[in-house]
Structure formats: C-alpha cells, structure tokens
Amino acid sequence: MIPASLGKSEMSANNIYSQGWSLDDVRWDLFDPSKIEPWMVTAVKAAALVEFNAPDYVSYLKRIFPDAATQAAMEEWGKEESQHGRALGRWAEMADPTFKLADTFARFREGYRPAQFQGDGTTSIRGSKRGEMISRCVVESGTSSYYSAIRDATDEPVLKEIAGRIAADEYRHYRLFFETLNTQAEPDLPFWRKLIVAVGRVNESDDDELAFAYYCAAVPKAREAAQPYVRAQCAKASYGTILRIYRRRHVQKLAQMVSKAIGADPQGRMTNLAGALLWRMLRVRAGLSRVSAAQEA
C-alpha cells in the first residue's frame, strides 16, 4: 500500500528507478571529475559508511521480529542498504583515490557500536514492535529525502544517478516498514506515544552515528592523533554539509512521510509546522541563523 498523498510523484524527479538494480547497472563511464565538489565528496563518504553498516541493523531487527516473512524482508532490506554503501563508496573512491571504503569502514565500525547491537535482547529499544517500525519509517523518510536532495544538488552524472536509485529504494523501504507497522498484532499505539517515538528518533540524528561517520570521512587515519574526534564539532560540521545539500522542499517531504507514519495528516497544519521546525533545527545544528533564497525553495 502506498501511503495516501505520497505516491509515485514523490520519486518522479528525473528518472524513476526500479527495484533490483546492481552496481553493473550504473553508468560509471559517465563519471565527470570536473563536476565533483570536495564538500560533496565528504558527504558521500559519510553516507557510504552509514549505509554499509546495515548488517548490524538486520541482526537487531531479526531479534525483534521472529516471524520468517518479516525476517526475510529485513534480510533483503539489508542487502539493498549494503549495496547503497558499496555504490556510494565506489563513487567516492573514484572522486578521491586516497579513500578506501573497506579501510574507512573498519575505522567507523570500531568506533561506533551502539548498545542495541551488542546484546541479544528481543525487545525493541522503542518499547514495542510498532514503535520500532515507526522509528524505521522516520529513518527511511530522512534517507529518501536526503538522497533526493543529493540528486538535485549535484551536477556530476554518476552521483546523480546513484542518488536517484538510492532515493527510490529508500522510498520503497519506507513503504515496507509502513506496511510492517500496520500488520503487527500488537494494539495500536496512542498518538502521543507515536509522536514521542518519532521525535526521539529525529533527535538521535545528533548522536555519534552521523558525527563519527563524518569524522572518518573527513579525517584520514594518519591524522587521527593531530585531529582527534570531538563529537560536537563533527556533528556541527556534518550538519553544515547536510544543509548545503537540503532544500526546504526536501525537509517538508520528510515531515509529510513521518506524519503519515504516526497517523497525522501529511497535508495538515501540524505537518507544516513540523517541517518548519525541522528546517530550523537543521540550521541551528549547523550553526546558521539564515540560509539563501535558493535553499528555501
């Protein structure tokens, strides 16, 4: 089921890519080094690390959802997420030959191991299976909007294609988690509880995952001693880069998708307010009080 008001038009910019693509389908021969920008390369490196970390999330979700059908869906989701990491990593290696995805990912994984990945618990850290799926919907809302923004922000043909393919996949992943949310045997959560889960997951974007991924992407291993990881600094720098990529319309689509997941009206006043607050939060975390007219578009 496609959520109301979030149909195919959400993925229609440029090409609509089908599911099941591989790295061999990407037109790597169109790579144009004259159209790469250093700050975008850093953003892509960081995104590759986060995407490539999917197996840990798969293991965690399979503990929470023991039924075979959901586990199979999570396995497929994880394979696609890992492929996103490989595609982004390959592009980054072309843009910066000193970057090696495998080596940099090893650094990232050594430094980022959240508690839920360490144990063998079968209860979601969100308190319920429905809460877990709302959290996943929030994440996929963010990734779908982010890769749409990268697609729109870059003029480099291969990155534009990769970002378009990933954005389409992430939207399908949102649909998967939305459907899984609504097929759980658990009682539905009250709206206030759904809202708390969603807001909590949005706030977690300020944790070590994005900040440390940015650090590993921006600071080579040889410079670690001279430039150690400071979460607050790296988080601010990460948000500064993200803000260069996002436009106001991408954040509004994010808010609409999250609203649908928690049972709110995607076109309602609360969603419009949430979009405005998210846009302001992004500026605050990036340390900017205002943005350009083009970013507000």
The mean pLDDT value of the chain amounts to 91
Residue boundaries of the structural domains of the chain: 36-296
Q: CA 40 to CA 91: how far, in whole Å?
A: 11
Instruction: Place 118 in a pLDDT band, splitting at 50, 70 and 90.
Output: confident
Instruction: Place 7 in a pLDDT band, splitting at 50, 70 and 90.
Output: very low
Per-residue pLDDT tens digits for 147-159: 999 999 999 999 9
Token pair belonging to 274: 């949430």
- Helices 208-218 and 231-245, interaxial angle, to 10°? 80
- 237, 218 Cβ separation under 8 angstroms: yes
Q: CA 175 to CA 290: how far, in whole Å?
A: 34
Does the pLDDT value for residue 4 go beyond 50? no
Does the pLDDT value for residue 277 go beyond 80? yes
Q: Hunting for tokens 């007219």 — which residue is that?
A: 293
Q: CA 251 to CA 263: how far, in whole Å?
A: 19
Distance between alpha carbon 46 and the CA centroid of its chain, in Å? 11
Q: Which CATH number fits domain 36-296: 2.60.40, 1.20.1260, 1.10.10, 2.40.160?
A: 1.20.1260
